[in-house]
Structure 1
Amino acid sequence: MRLTLIIAAVVILLDQASKLYIVEGLALKDRLVIDVWPPYLSFHMAWNRGVNFGLFSGLDMRWILIAVALVISALVLSWVWRDPSRRWANVAAGLLVGGALGNVIDRLRYGAVADFLNVSCCGIENPFAFNIADIAVFAGAVGLVLFTGETGRAKADGRKKRDASRRPR
């Protein structure tokens, strides 16, 4: 559980520091676009009032989305607390919780999530922007799928058996 909380805190700090520096410090909220490494990386200011990819952004869902993020974070933390044995599941949970709470802070502070990272490649222009919290939520969700449940347990059990067989007797 401790590892989960440390990872969550690091994600929140990185996410909020990047937003403070880029959105406020570099004045992206006023400039709207800053080319960093054209055409691959640019900062595009986007205020996401909805869910992923701006879905439902026309509805005032701020408080509902804050509540959902807090409930999901609490459930994930409770889950990890009850089954703390898998290191990578704890890392994944920390990423998910830290990212969710980073976006909650945005919704409380700005009324919307501040998205600014835009990555394009190979002549394809990406119309979407995201942030560090979004990356962490995605990576955490994928990690929880990979490192929990029967598949995660089977991998952990297999490692324990291999490690036990390698010990000198």
Structure 2
Amino acid sequence: MRAGNRANQRRIIMEILSILTGAFVAGCDLGIKKYTEENVRDGEERRIWKGKGIYRKVHNKGLMMNHLDCRPKLVKGMSAAALGILFFWEHLLWKEPGRKLAKLGTSLMLGGAVGNTYDRFKRGYVVDYLSLKTKNRKLSDITFNLSDLALFAGAILTVWSSLFGKKR
């Protein structure tokens, strides 16, 4: 009975850490977005990371790189649906033993989805603020945020776990 209690306690602790991971990502991103909205002028660019990065304010009314920006209701609906699917997936995932990498990936994706979906419903657009300075102008024009990074990293971890990870 004791071993079962310990396993249940570990599962509960991992679930709490998962929720905190997602909340941390969303909270940090939303805080940076608020700061950016209040302190960065339109068109202003600040060099960061020893000139290898750019900090600026971009309002993205669509999906990635403003796709579907002329269909805001569809974009909101897709964001809300994706968020719901991620919550459901995480709920199912936590019923399975092991799969720690997939659980971490899902937590990161949830945090990123919450940050961007909140923006879409609250502001009507997503605030993006980071870019990499490259010799390729098109690549340097791509602007993203912490939620985007969490979504991307979480997706990679989840896929990696599904392809190469152990079930334990």
- What whole-Å deviation, never above 9, does each CA across 1:9-60 have from its counterpart, x for those lacking one? 1101111111112222x2x2x3332222374211232211211121111222
1:3-152 alignment, distance < 5 Å: 3-24=17-38, 26=39, 28=40, 30-37=41-48, 39-60=51-72, 61-121=74-134, 123-125=135-137, 126-148=140-162, 151-152=164-165
Asked if the contact 1:69/1:104 (under 8 Å) is kept, the reply is no
* C-alpha distance in 2 between matches for 1:43 and 1:106: 18
Q: Secondary structure at the match of 2:166?
A: helix
TM-score (norm 2): 0.79
Percent identity over the alignment? 26
TM-score (norm 1): 0.79
- Matched residues, number: 150
Q: Secondary structure at the match of 2:165?
A: helix
Q: Secondary structure at the match of 1:142?
A: helix
Q: Secondary structure at the match of 1:50?
A: coil
* C-alpha distance in 2 between matches for 1:73 and 1:82: 14
Q: Secondary structure at the match of 2:98?
A: coil
Query: One-letter code of the match for 2:99?
Result: R
- What whole-Å deviation, never above 9, does each CA across 1:81-124 have from its counterpart, x for those lacking one? 22242222221111000000110111122101111111122x22
RMSD of the alignment, in Å?
2.0
Q: Where does the alignment leave 5 or more consecutive residues of structure 1 unmatched? A: 157-169
* C-alpha distance in 2 between matches for 1:104 and 1:79: 22
State the shift of 1:146 in Å: 0.8
* C-alpha distance in 2 between matches for 1:84 and 1:106: 34
